[in-house]
Amino acid sequence: MESPIRIVPINAVDGGFLDRLALCLEERFLYSVRVERPLSVPRSALNNTRQQLFLATLTAKVLRAHPEPGGMLLAVTEYDLYKTSHRFIFGDADEGQGVAAVSLHRLRSEFYGETPDDNVLFQRALKETVHELGHALGLKHCFNARCAMYYSNSIFETDNKMSHFCETCDQRLSRTRN
Ligand SMILES: [Zn+2]
Ligand SMILES: [Zn+2]
């Protein structure tokens, strides 16, 4: 059977990091998760003045590379992402197309002038991927600041939330999956 969740690394993303992420996502969603081969997106795809990648450009490339229907695609990129009306985004998801994206750029401690910390990066990435996959499965934002579906506008809010859903969101999710 095909993997319902397929992680698509954009260019080089640490393999150990992605395998660990895949395991944690399997635990949380009880879906099989597979890491696909990296998809090459050259720096020339970035918006030249912003030095950021436009979300729609990324999702179009991911969908073009993986046109098979079914399951969910999760792009993980080092590029800083933005979309119309958002200066930057940690990630995004399109429920209809079954595609989600998470950027590691602003999850790294060094982005905030702090010492690089692999564990901090991993926890933040896990929270944001759980959040986006939650959207891809139909969940909306949650008002519980500890819930993974809480909308974080800043890294402090990401650090403050858990890498799993609150009871209400959990119940919503199991109802949609029955
Ligand atoms: Zn969200
Ligand atoms: Zn919640």
Tens of pLDDT along the chain (178 residues) come to 456 999 999 999 999 999 999 999 999 999 999 999 999 999 999 999 999 999 999 999 999 999 988 899 999 999 999 999 899 999 999 999 999 999 999 999 999 999 999 999 999 999 999 999 999 999 999 999 999 999 998 999 999 999 999 999 999 998 877 6
**CATH number of residue 58's parent domain:** 3.40.390.10
At 62 the pLDDT is 97
Ligand 1 centre distance from Cα of residue 132 (Å): 6
Tally of domains in the chain: 1
**Which ligand gives the minimal distance to the CA of 141?**
1
Q: What is the pTM of this model?
A: 0.95
**Which ligand gives the minimal distance to the CA of 165?**
2
At 43 the pLDDT is 96
Please report whether residue 130 resides in a domain: yes
Residue 40 CA, chain-centre distance (Å), reads 18
Please report whether residue 104 resides in a domain: yes
| Residue 101 lies in domain | 5-141
Ligand 1 centre distance from Cα of residue 34 (Å): 23
Please report whether residue 34 resides in a domain: yes
**Given the residues 2, 26, 114, 132, the one annotated as active site:** 132
At 123 the pLDDT is 98
Sign of CA dihedral 161, 15, 33, 46: positive
Ligand 1 centre distance from Cα of residue 46 (Å): 23
Strands (E), the chain: 5-9, 33-35, 53-54, 72-77, 81-83, 86-89, 91-94, 99-103
Instruction: Tell me, yes or no, if 114 is annotated catalytic.
Output: no
Please report whether residue 118 resides in a domain: yes
At 70 the pLDDT is 83
Q: Which residues pair with 178 in a beta bridge?
A: none
Please report whether residue 170 resides in a domain: no
Q: 75, 59 in Cβ contact below 8 A?
A: yes
Ligand 1 centre distance from Cα of residue 90 (Å): 9
